[in-house]
Chains A and B, each alone.
With several copies, the nearest count.
Chain A
Amino acid sequence: MAISKLVSGVKEACKGVEDGMTLMLGGFGLCGIPENCIEELVRLGVKDVTCISNNAGVDNFGLGRLLQGHQIRKMISSYVGENDEFERQMLSGELEVDLIPQGSLAERCRAGGAGIPAFYTPAGFGTEVAEGKEVREFDGKPHILESALTSEFAFVKAWRGDEAGNLVYKATARNFNPMMAMAGKITIAEVEELVPLGTIDPNEIHTPGIFVQRIFQGDSYEKRIEQRTVRPHKN
């Protein structure tokens, strides 16, 4: 009875992505990013895309791969500090950048997926972020009106998934993935492990399959660590 979202692999999953489209990509830093789809977008060579993603990867991994090929026209992000090529393209004017507060970014994606066209938040009042936006006081405190974000495609990465599109994320690799899954007109989920239908306890699913249009198991995951910090073993 379940509606199957299973596709054969990354190539079938990314069918229909075209130049100039708006794409959402889950992940925080390099944690929980859709590695296989990003590589396929590099291979496809789509140009002039707008990417909505909390970060922009590093120079040679994550969204940095798309920046290298000058495939991105505009980034909508909250923090882009780990990427020299990004900074170069932005300061030179090649790359359009819309920086927005992280909480507003998350909530705007959720709103887009939830049919809430706009909401008020205190974040950014009195800053550049508020420019051109409606300000209204609630309970004596000024708030700004933020609008929903949606995208033609959303790329998310989960730990486990089933053919119904149900997803479970691992630890902090969850981050923006659930909201972006909601906000994509076509949401493509790549998973580390595809499990048989009925394997995942329906109580423990993070993203219900209704939000996912295509799912596949990624061929391989590098899962690069950006800041490896450790403490010494006690001897």
Chain B
Amino acid sequence: MLDKNGIATRIAQEVEDGQYVNLGIGIPTLVANHIPEGLNVEFQSENGILGMGPFPFEGSEDADLINAGKQTITALPGAVYFDSATSFAMIRGRHVQLTVLGAMEVSETGDIANWKIPGKMVKGMGGAMDLVASADNIVVAMMHTNRAGESKLLPQCSLPLTGVACVKRVVTNLAVLDIKDGAFHLVERAPGVSVEDIRAATAGELIVPDSVPEMQL
């Protein structure tokens, strides 16, 4: 079973050389720390930077330089700042090639819900609806079950949707799963996790191939 950094490490393997990548808040943000040396990748943050670097050294924080999670950041050589309309032109126009974001629920048809719990939590969708409606390549990073132990991989989402039929791959603390033909297809198991563990934690239809390799981290 993976912790959050483990999930981020596995997702970093999805990133290809030469890609522009948008990382959501939470686990996805950690992915940046696990990109292999030598891979040329640029991180976009939808509030208006491409070429985002690591957190600043203490004392060099700049209130005018933050990421979409409102964290202070730095800019790498070759970075560029832009306005929100241009930022979402990059996203909607499919110039950003990979989006990694968190979710409360994902359905077996690729629907995602991550912005609202009616009557309880209403934070807003931020840029998530634009991101999931646009990117060719959408990977969800999340725990396989919620705090109550209920599966977050469902036949249908119960919460208000963020996007429809858009998620291609889910990486959880238990497994890597692809979504196609209306089902979750088990691709890899987390170290020490059995197919039965995954089956028990997955409410949506799960297709298990004859052999399911363990993740190589």
User: Which A residues form the contact surface with B (CB < 8 A)?
Assistant: 1-4, 28-32, 54, 77-82, 87, 90-91, 97, 99-107, 109-110, 112-116, 121-129, 159, 162-164, 166, 169-179, 182, 197-198, 202-203, 205-206, 208-211, 223-233
Please give, as numbers and ranges, the residues of chain B lying within 8 Å of A4 by CB-CB distance: 40
Does any Cβ of A come within 8 Å of B123's Cβ?
yes
23 example contacts (A-B, Cβ-Cβ < 8 A) are as follows A1-B41, A1-B42, A99-B124, A101-B129, A101-B130, A102-B46, A106-B83, A125-B133, A125-B164, A128-B160, A159-B64, A170-B64, A172-B65, A173-B64, A178-B85, A198-B77, A208-B86, A209-B78, A210-B44, A211-B90, A223-B63, A229-B71, A233-B57
Q: Which of B20, B64, B75 has the most CB of A within 10 A?
A: B64
User: Does A114 lie within 8 Å of B89, measured CB to CB?
Assistant: yes
Q: Which residue of A lies closest to B127 (CB)?
A: A102
User: Does A97 lie within 8 Å of B122, measured CB to CB?
Assistant: yes
User: Does A227 lie within 8 Å of B58, measured CB to CB?
Assistant: no
User: Does A127 lie within 8 Å of B129, measured CB to CB?
Assistant: yes
Q: A123-B134, A208-B80 are in contact. Are A231 and B66 (CB under 8 A)?
A: no
- A79 and B49 CA atoms in complex are apart in Å by 18
Please give, as numbers and ranges, the residues of chain B lying within 8 Å of A230 by CB-CB distance: 55-59, 61, 72
Q: Which of A30, A126, A206, A231 has the most CB of B within 10 A?
A: A126
Q: How far is the CB of A195 from chain B (nearest CB, A)?
A: 11
Does any Cβ of A come within 8 Å of B208's Cβ?
no
Q: How far is the CB of A227 from chain B (nearest CB, A)?
A: 4
Interface size on B, residues (CB 8 A): 76
Q: A102-B84, A126-B164 are in contact. Are A80 and B122 (CB under 8 A)?
A: yes
Q: Which residue of A lies closest to B39 (CB)?
A: A1
User: Does A28 lie within 8 Å of B48, measured CB to CB?
Assistant: yes
User: Does A205 lie within 8 Å of B64, measured CB to CB?
Assistant: no
Q: Which of A166, A179, A231 contacts B80 (CB 8 A)?
A: A166
- A125 and B129 CA atoms in complex are apart in Å by 9
User: Does A179 lie within 8 Å of B83, measured CB to CB?
Assistant: yes
Please give, as numbers and ranges, the residues of chain A lying within 8 Å of B134 by CB-CB distance: 115, 122-123
Q: Which residue of A lies closest to B125 (CB)?
A: A101
User: Does B83 lie within 8 Å of A175, measured CB to CB?
Assistant: yes
**Surface stretch bound by A, among B93-101, B141-149, B177-185:** B93-101
Q: Which residue of A lies closest to B88 (CB)?
A: A103
- A54 and B64 CA atoms in complex are apart in Å by 16
CB within 8 Å: A-B pair count: 267
User: Which B residues form the contact surface with A (CB < 8 A)?
Assistant: 18-20, 40-42, 44-51, 53-59, 61-73, 75-96, 111, 116, 119, 122-130, 133-134, 160-165
Please give, as numbers and ranges, the residues of chain B lying within 8 Å of A121 by CB-CB distance: 92, 130, 133
User: Does B161 lie within 8 Å of A126, measured CB to CB?
Assistant: yes
Please give, as numbers and ranges, the residues of chain B lying within 8 Å of A209 by CB-CB distance: 42, 50, 78, 80
Known: A101-B125, A227-B71, A230-B58. 5 other contacts (CB 8 A): A80-B122, A113-B95, A125-B164, A205-B80, A210-B95
- A29 and B81 CA atoms in complex are apart in Å by 17
User: Does A178 lie within 8 Å of B83, measured CB to CB?
Assistant: yes
User: Does B65 lie within 8 Å of A113, measured CB to CB?
Assistant: no
- A78 and B88 CA atoms in complex are apart in Å by 13
Q: How far is the CB of A75 from chain B (nearest CB, A)?
A: 10
User: Does B41 lie within 8 Å of A208, measured CB to CB?
Assistant: no
Q: Which residue of A lies closest to B97 (CB)?
A: A210
Please give, as numbers and ranges, the residues of chain B lying within 8 Å of A232 by CB-CB distance: 57-58
Please give, as numbers and ranges, the residues of chain B lying within 8 Å of A113 by CB-CB distance: 89, 93, 95
Q: A127-B163, A227-B66 are in contact. Are A174 and B122 (CB under 8 A)?
A: no
Please give, as numbers and ranges, the residues of chain B lying within 8 Å of A126 by CB-CB distance: 111, 161, 163-165
